[in-house]
Structure 1
Amino acid sequence: MNSAGQFDYIIIGGGSAGCVLANRLSERPDRKVLLLEAGGNDDYIWVKIPVGYLYCIGNPRTDWGFRTEAEKGLNGRSIAYPRGKILGGCSSINGMIYMRGQASDYDRWRQLGNTGWGWDDVLPYFLKSEDHYMAENDSLHGRGGELRVDKQRLRWDVLDSFRDACEQAGIPKVDDFNRGNNEGCSYFQVNQKNGFRWNMARGFLKPVRSRPNLEVVTRAQATRLIIRDKRATGVEFSRDGQAFVAECRNEVLLSAGAVNSPQLMMLSGLGPPDVLSEFGIECILANDAIGKNLQDHLQLRTIFRISNAKTLNQRASNLFGKISIAMEYALMRSGPMSMAPSQLGAFVKSEQSLETPDLEYHVQPLSLDKFGDPLHDFPAITASVCNLRPHSRGQVSLRSADWRDAPVIAPNYLSTEADRHTAVRAIRITRNILQQPAMAKYRPDEYLPGSNCQSHDDLIEAAGNIGTTIFHPVGTLKMGDDDAAVVDNRLKVNGVEGLRVVDASVMPMITSGNTNAPTVMIAEKASDMIIQDDKS
């Protein structure tokens, strides 16, 4: 075992949270920080260009390439489960959408026993990170932070009409989804700057990477946490076929994400005793909650053929169109190459009795059978809709005791009657929007799930056929003060000293929107807590 040295802080995972931690904790020159990332640097050209997500997701250079188990709720299908394997993590391959969620999400966290995590508590940390294009005259947005938030650099007539149709269906037009209640329809704000993706490695890590007290090691996969006498004292990792050990004087910070963080804990002897014994792993800390409580947003991809409008399906269908798209981006940093996967969003209540919206739309001027397939040869739009607050709970577990083996991922989608009911309502609400006068000129014709699906049971089956992840797994190392909690409200692992979890896995309940910005917030707040505890 080769020695990698001794550090005050060891951060495992160079994703969104890890980049924030590396920046904040290395501000003190007397604290030595190690950041380990299993993937490579974020210098791949398709990371920088927004449309490059098409070439990053499913690419072993940038994506772990996970898949779920066969899901009963998806009619026996196993689906791809992208997770970033590169500096910046998922912020290097995701849809770039900046979304805080709803104030009530965080107030609910606080009500569950997590003191200090209400909306008023976390808002300052959102503001701290932001460099927001609206900030100059807006006290609810920050300026000068490391996280650039911009408006999109293109528009489509058919999306403008969809927004008008939402208004006709009772969904108001709004300018900003990030004010505490995101109800309404608007264009998404994005993590971009001057038409380039602004990932967390670029925002938080690149400006400080030359600090002498910060060491960043890429292509270094953590294989085991070192725990002695119920205290984390370091980590073993593999790099270039060699085994290394790094020792820690203060805290080991687990920021590998909602899939990899619980996997590493179980490989290290922390977790459900029956799982550990099955694979011959010595149980250091028995906790059945590790890997449980997996929550994700399942998107239902409804597709409508349209007429009398151009969509990306036609514009990218021939060589001339592709050249014009490339030229528009090269000259103006705009057009389809600058666009996030979804441009227009809407937040809607599936039932009017709800206090806040529980559905989110991601609307796109394009269509395809599944991610990675070619665009359809007919004009169409996709209106994906997801249940923001699912009742279904899944889990992440071990496939073997070998760290090289991908974990078992079982989201358990649509496993509750409430989630199935919401799925049916979501499809019907989508149909209602497309039937509004603003969309009449496009003569929308339902391609998926198909107008023949009308009954409650038909729509449940259809949801299982068209449902797929929108890449928001959280909750597998839940924060709380109950028996199902893994970490406390300071993100310290219950039962192990010197070990914290700082990533989306600590969310007790999933936020009502895209999850990257909340993950950055968690890391900002965690950094302050770590520094405070270091001074005590």
Structure 2
Amino acid sequence: MQVFDFIIAGSGSAGSVVAERLSASGRFSVLVLEAGGTDRRFYVQMPLGYGKTFFDPAVNWNYKAEPDPGLAGAADHWPRGKLLGGSSSINAMVWIRGAREDFDDWRDAGNTGWGFDDLLPAFKAIEDNQAGADAFRGTGGPVHVTDMSAVVHPLTHRYLEAGRQAGLPLNPDFNGAAQEGVGIYQITTRGGRRMSAARAFLRPAMKRSNVRVETNALATRILFEGSRAVDIEYEQNGQKQQARASREIIVCAGSVASPQLLQLSGIGPGPLLQSLGIPVTQTNANVGANLQDHVGINYTFRAKVPTLNSVLRPWWGKALVGARYLLSGTGPLSLSINNGGGFFRTDPARTRPNMQLYFQAFSTVIPRAGERPILAPDPWPGFSIGLSNARPSSRGEIMIRSADPRDHPKIVANAYSTEADVAEMLAAVKFVRKIAAQPAIAEVIAEEVLPGPSVQSDADLIDDFRKRSGTVYHPCSTCRMGPDPATSVVDPRLRVHGISGLRVIDASIFPGNITGNTNAASIMTGWKGAGMVLEDQG
């Protein structure tokens, strides 16, 4: 049996960071197990190519949630990255840390060392921000963060002015002193290519002799001696393999697969595991529970002026933007479709934003089977203003269906399952219409296409967002962190309660969801968690 100091299950946003940091000194040997394959694919590296990876089984787990009453019975599509870099290799690249208050809430729940002031040095160390360093921003770090302000579509500036006219401040940096307002998103790219966690962290680590990365290697079970995790089983090319960790096994498989692996290994809800014939190593009802996710919807408009549809739809437009990208790494293909966005409060009495905005100078009302048609939008000029809830109160769960690690787990999202979530989304979609009614953008709107002017009453608006909403791909908290094993899975040092030699380091440990996209916080969690491992190793 092969022996390594550390074995990391998963090479995603957190796992790539953990691998790089643990191997940097050369003292420790590191094995990384990745169920997927390489990230060296054209549509992975090209930023706008994520439309092509949205359903691609070669790089995507393509999970499907259970039919959800909150979404009018729809079974939502849950894309998660199945390749080096994980979901950071197929996401929309928007770089949002989350609000100060989010992390202070983590700290105040008993997670010492996880407040915003504790984490700011890590966030700054991670970044190489094109906008430069300041009290909140870093330069020289592994993750290049691109400032899109000089290259966004012209309609984005109309959106920003409309947001200002609707009462929101203009915000030059959502990761700066304040989060509220409208502004231009910063994204994780460099030189026209995606800056995934694999590119920023794992690829440099793979050049070291003390790092071994196994692709197409599905971690199937953790093995124990008493209450200590010692070995990991995995399948690769149809063969069962086993490796030993002399120091620690670190699960970085993400908010879906991390609780799945723990449950397959006998850590989780006792009655469920027993019913599936899995010997119980550690009973913990929180493994897979407490699922939180952001749910969103787009309002779409036909424009009187050209949008990205006008360039990305016709063959000659595709040829032009394709040639520009291949020759210079610039143009629409080098960006995220989310040029602008923002954060707002649905009630002025709230102390901080509870909703996120997205502005897209393109539209995809006309569906295409099996594809997210970012590169083939509607045949008329359109744009969308999207939004998602930032801290919903609805809770779901992710539980295994069988003892077979190849079976996708059962994802019960429970979207809009509380009256509070329904009420705030109703207020939020009304605010989107308020933005669209402002002079700066109303003068270029020909009509509202979705949901359309006939949808006006509260009941109709609620019915519409139940039918058209879906995940915005930010699941977390299924192995949540906390000091009390009765309510959490890992302690504030990310060690699994009741088990030695085993940690979980990824977005599944978030005590609560954050205000915004989760990739930056996932990478920070990898950085912070790896630091804790190194501290504990002396």
* TM score, norm. by length of structure 2: 0.97
Q: In the alignment, does 2:390 pair up with 1:418? A: no
> What is the aligned-residue RMSD (CA, Å)?
1.2
Q: Which residue of 2 aligns with 1:64?
A: 61
Letter of the 1:338 partner, please give it: S
Q: Which residue of 1 aligns with 2:226?
A: 229
Secondary structure in 1 matching 2:531: helix
Q: In the alignment, does 2:389 pair up with 1:393? A: no
Residue 460 of structure 1 and its aligned partner are, at CA, apart by: 1.4
CA distance in 2, matches of 1:130, 1:317: 35
Q: In the alignment, does 2:499 pair up with 1:534? A: no
CA distance in 1, matches of 2:30, 2:181: 43
* TM score, norm. by length of structure 1: 0.97
CA distance in 1, matches of 2:258, 2:529: 16
Q: Which residue of 2 aligns with 1:372?
A: 372
Cα 1:246–1:531 change in 2 (3 A) is same
CA distance in 1, matches of 2:177, 2:464: 33
CA distance in 1, matches of 2:168, 2:280: 52
Q: In the alignment, does 2:365 pair up with 1:362? A: no
Unaligned runs of 5+ in 1: none
Instruction: Within 5 Å, give how 1:71-220 maps onto structure 2.
Output: 71-136=68-133, 138-152=134-148, 154-220=151-217
Residue 444 of structure 1 and its aligned partner are, at CA, apart by: 4.5
**Counterpart among 486, 491, 497 of residue 488 in structure 1:** 491
Cα 1:180–1:504 change in 2 (3 A) is farther
Tell me which moved more, 324-333 or 95-104. Answer: 324-333
**Does the CA-based 8 Å contact 1:305-1:380 persist in structure 2?**
yes
Q: Which residue of 2 aligns with 1:23?
A: 20
**Does the CA-based 8 Å contact 2:301-2:445 persist in structure 1?**
no
Q: In the alignment, does 2:250 pair up with 1:253? A: yes
**Counterpart among 512, 519, 522 of residue 509 in structure 1:** 512
Cα 1:481–1:180 change in 2 (3 A) is farther
Letter of the 2:172 partner, please give it: D
Tell me which moved more, 41-50 or 510-519. Answer: 41-50
CA distance in 1, matches of 2:321, 2:165: 33
**Does the CA-based 8 Å contact 1:434-1:444 persist in structure 2?**
no
Residue 300 of structure 1 and its aligned partner are, at CA, apart by: 1.2
Secondary structure in 2 matching 1:60: coil
Q: Which residue of 2 aligns with 1:239?
A: 236
Tell me which moved more, 323-332 or 388-397. Answer: 323-332
Q: Which residue of 2 aligns with 1:301?
A: 298
CA distance in 2, matches of 1:330, 1:210: 27
CA distance in 1, matches of 2:318, 2:418: 44
Q: In the alignment, does 2:342 pair up with 1:346? A: yes
Q: Which residue of 1 aligns with 2:524?
A: 521
CA distance in 1, matches of 2:455, 2:393: 24
Secondary structure in 1 matching 2:327: helix
Q: Which residue of 1 aligns with 2:4?
A: 7
Q: In the alignment, does 2:263 pair up with 1:266? A: yes
Secondary structure in 2 matching 1:73: helix
**Does the CA-based 8 Å contact 2:131-2:147 persist in structure 1?**
no
**Does the CA-based 8 Å contact 1:102-1:180 persist in structure 2?**
no
CA distance in 2, matches of 1:443, 1:381: 9
CA distance in 1, matches of 2:102, 2:30: 32
**Counterpart among 420, 433, 445 of residue 431 in structure 1:** 433
Residue 421 of structure 1 and its aligned partner are, at CA, apart by: 0.4
CA distance in 2, matches of 1:94, 1:323: 24
Secondary structure in 2 matching 1:384: strand
CA distance in 2, matches of 1:341, 1:238: 37
Letter of the 1:437 partner, please give it: P
Q: In the alignment, does 2:311 pair up with 1:311? A: no
What are the superposed Cα offsets for residues 317-353 of structure 1, whole Å, 9 maximum, x if unpaired?
A: 2211111111222333222211203111111111111
Instruction: Within 5 Å, give how 1:449-464 maps onto structure 2.
Output: 449-464=451-466
What are the superposed Cα offsets for residues 191-222 of structure 1, whole Å, 9 maximum, x if unpaired?
A: 01111111111111112212111111111000
Q: Which residue of 1 aligns with 2:407?
A: 405
**Does the CA-based 8 Å contact 2:476-2:508 persist in structure 1?**
yes
Give percent identity, aligned residues only. 39
CA distance in 1, matches of 2:301, 2:461: 16
CA distance in 2, matches of 1:236, 1:502: 19
Residue 255 of structure 1 and its aligned partner are, at CA, apart by: 0.1
Q: Which residue of 2 aligns with 1:336?
A: 332
CA distance in 1, matches of 2:215, 2:125: 27
CA distance in 1, matches of 2:416, 2:226: 42
Residue 520 of structure 1 and its aligned partner are, at CA, apart by: 0.7
Tell me which moved more, 99-108 or 154-163. Answer: 154-163
Q: In the alignment, does 2:42 pair up with 1:45? A: yes
Secondary structure in 2 matching 1:300: strand
Q: Which residue of 2 aligns with 1:326?
A: 322
Letter of the 1:249 partner, please give it: S
What are the superposed Cα offsets for residues 68-92 of structure 1, whole Å, 9 maximum, x if unpaired?
A: 1101000000111000000001110
What are the superposed Cα offsets for residues 268-296 of structure 1, whole Å, 9 maximum, x if unpaired?
A: 11111121122111111111110011111
CA distance in 2, matches of 1:523, 1:79: 28
**Does the CA-based 8 Å contact 1:236-1:245 persist in structure 2?**
yes
Cα 1:252–1:527 change in 2 (3 A) is same
Letter of the 1:417 partner, please give it: E
**Does the CA-based 8 Å contact 2:294-2:474 persist in structure 1?**
yes
Residue 414 of structure 1 and its aligned partner are, at CA, apart by: 0.2
Letter of the 2:332 partner, please give it: P
Residue 372 of structure 1 and its aligned partner are, at CA, apart by: 1.9
Unaligned runs of 5+ in 2: none
Residue 61 of structure 1 and its aligned partner are, at CA, apart by: 1.1
Letter of the 1:372 partner, please give it: R
**Does the CA-based 8 Å contact 2:4-2:29 persist in structure 1?**
yes
